[in-house]
Amino acid sequence: MALPTSIRTAFASLRDGFIDRLRIDTRALAALRVALGLLLLVDLALRTRHLRAFYTDAGVLPRAVLADLYPTLSQLSLHALSGDAWLQLALFALAGAFALMLCLGYHTRVATLASLLLLVSLHARNPLVLNAGDSLLRRLLFWGLFLPLGTRWSVDAVHRGSARQRLASVASVASAGLLIQVVVVYVVNALFKHRGELWLRGDAVRYVFSLREFTVLLGPALAEHALLLTVADWLWLALIAASPLLVLATGRVRTALAACLLGAHLAMLLTLRVGVFPLVSAAALLVFLHGGVWARVERRVARVAARAGGRRLTALASRLPRLPRPSPRLPDGVVRPLRHAVPVVLCVLLVAALAWNAVALGALDVGGSDEASVAPSEYSWNMFAPDPPRSDRWFVAPARTTNGSTVNALTGRAVTWTPPDDFAAQYPSARWRKYLSNVWKRDDPRLTAAYAGSLCERWNATYDADLVAVDVAVARQATRLSGPEPIAHRTLWSGRCAATP
7-11, 270-274, 342-346, range with greatest mean pLDDT:
270-274
Peptide bond into 386 cis (omega under 30): yes
Q: Are 60 and 105 in contact (CB under 8 A)?
A: no
How would residue 360 be classed by pLDDT, with cut points 50, 70 and 90?
A: low
**In angstroms, how far is CA 334 from the centroid of its own chain?**
37
pLDDT class of 309 with cuts at 50, 70, 90? very low
pLDDT in tens, 7-42: 666 666 677 677 888 899 999 999 999 999 999 999
pLDDT at 427: 83
Question: CB-side exposure of 243: number of CA atoms within 13 Å?
Answer: 23
- pLDDT higher than 60, residue 377: no
Q: Give 283: exposed, middle or buried? Use CB within 10 Å, 0-12, 13-18, 19+.
A: buried
Under 8 Å CB-to-CB from 374, ≥6 apart: which residues? 72
β 398-401/406-408 pair status: antiparallel
Q: What is the pLDDT of residue 364?
A: 56
Are 126 and 113 spatial neighbours (Cβ–Cβ below 8 Å)? no
Q: Does the pLDDT value for residue 341 go beyond 50?
A: yes
Band of the pLDDT at 499, cuts 50, 70, 90?
A: low
Cβ neighbours of 224 (radius 10 Å): 9
3-state secondary structure 106-148: CCHHHHHHHHHHHHHHHHHHCHHHCCHHHHHHHHHHHHHCCCC
Above 70 in pLDDT, residue 413? yes
pLDDT above 60 for 334 = no
Q: Check residues 338 and 447 and name the one with the higher pLDDT.
A: 447
pLDDT at 160 (0 to 100)? 79
For the stretch 417-441, what's the b/e string if a residue is b when 16 or more beta carbons lie within 10 angstroms of its beta carbon?
A: eebbeebeebbebbbbbbbbbbbbe
Distance from C-alpha of 466 to C-alpha of 474, rounded to nearest angstrom: 23
* Strand locations in 242-351 (E): none
Q: Of the candidates 124, 61, 58, 47, which has an alpha carbon nearest to the alpha carbon of residue 89?
A: 47
* Helical ranges in 411-496 per DSSP H: 423-426, 430-442, 445-462
**378 pLDDT more than 60:** no
Q: What's the whole-number mean pLDDT along residues 325-345? A: 64
Backbone angles phi, psi at 314, to 5 degrees: -65, -40
Across 174-188, 306-320, 410-424, least confident range: 306-320
8 A C-beta contact, residue 240 and residue 234 = no
Which comes out higher in pLDDT, residue 426 or 370? 426
Task: Identify the top-confidence range among 67-76, 260-269, 303-312, 407-416.
Answer: 260-269
pLDDT, mean of residues 275-303: 88
Whole-prediction pTM value? 0.90
- Provide, rounded to the nearest whole percent, the portion of the chain with pLDDT above 70: 84
**274 touches 430 (CB < 8 A):** yes
Largest CA distance in the chain: 96
User: Distance between alpha carbon 194 and the CA centroid of its chain, in Å?
Assistant: 23
3-state DSSP assignment of residue 474: strand
Query: How far, in Å, CA of 361 to CA of 188, rounded?
Result: 7
